[in-house]
């Protein structure tokens, strides 16, 4: 259950920032471990109830842990752009008011951990979400100017003056 929750919350304690394939491997490993644990639990429960004809509160421990994990995954949502957008916009507007290009590091905005915020001379503010392998992902606040992509830089319009981006580093 812990492995599945780590994937859900995009938290990879051993590898740092997780990529899509990392998350897939985590899902497969977590699913196999959970499935194996549930199979062992089911066999032991059937033996305890069927052969020994007795009840133990230990039987309820495994379903309780699985239900607690499911509830945690449903109740506590990982941070998203939509939840962080008001705070990100506030930071972007504040940085655009400054005279010179500036940077801020290691911000937590609306549940998102932003590693770097950078104001460029062209009037855009970049929020770098994660550096994963040879790709950099994040969002850009670009008031009135639509960013133009190329083979190494891709932009996707979200809403208003916001765009998501992926930069491929060679």
122 closest CA partner among 140, 110, 139, 106? 140
For the segment 161-170, the average pLDDT, to the nearest whole number, is 82
* Chain centre to alpha carbon of residue 9: 5
pLDDT at 79 over 70: no
Name which of 18-22, 64-68, 159-163 the model is least confident about: 18-22
The better pLDDT of the pair 76, 78 is held by 76
pLDDT band at 63 (very low <50, low <70, confident <90, very high): confident
Taking only the tens place, the pLDDT of each residue in 3-51 is 776 666 666 655 555 556 667 777 788 888 888 888 988 888 888 888 8
Residue 117: strand pairing partners: 104, 127
Residue 57 burial by CB count (10 A; 0-12/13-18/19+): exposed, middle or buried?
exposed
pLDDT recorded at residue 12: 60
Prediction pTM value: 0.58
pLDDT recorded at residue 131: 63
pLDDT recorded at residue 81: 73
Taking only the tens place, the pLDDT of each residue in 106-160 is 877 777 778 888 888 778 888 887 666 677 888 899 888 888 878 788 888 888 8
pLDDT recorded at residue 15: 53
């Amino acid at each position: 259950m812990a492995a599945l929750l780590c994937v859900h919350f995009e938290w990879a304690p051993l590898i740092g920032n997780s990529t899509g394939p990392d998350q897939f491997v985590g899902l497969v490993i977590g699913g196999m471990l959970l499935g194996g644990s549930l199979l062992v639990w089911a066999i032991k429960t059937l033996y305890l109830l069927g052969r020994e004809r007795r009840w133990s509160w230990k039987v309820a421990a495994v379903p309780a842990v699985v239900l607690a994990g499911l509830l945690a995954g449903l109740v506590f949502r990982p941070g998203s752009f939509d939840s962080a957008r008001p705070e990100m916009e506030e930071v972007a507007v504040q940085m655009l008011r400054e005279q010179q290009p500036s940077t801020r590091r290691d911000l937590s905005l609306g549940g998102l951990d932003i590693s770097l915020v950078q104001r460029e001379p062209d009037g855009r503010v970049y929020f770098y979400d994660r550096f994963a392998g040879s790709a950099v992902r994040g969002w850009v606040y670009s008031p009135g100017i639509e960013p133009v992509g190329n083979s190494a830089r891709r932009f996707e319009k979200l809403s208003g003056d916001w765009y998501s981006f992926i930069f491929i580093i060679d």
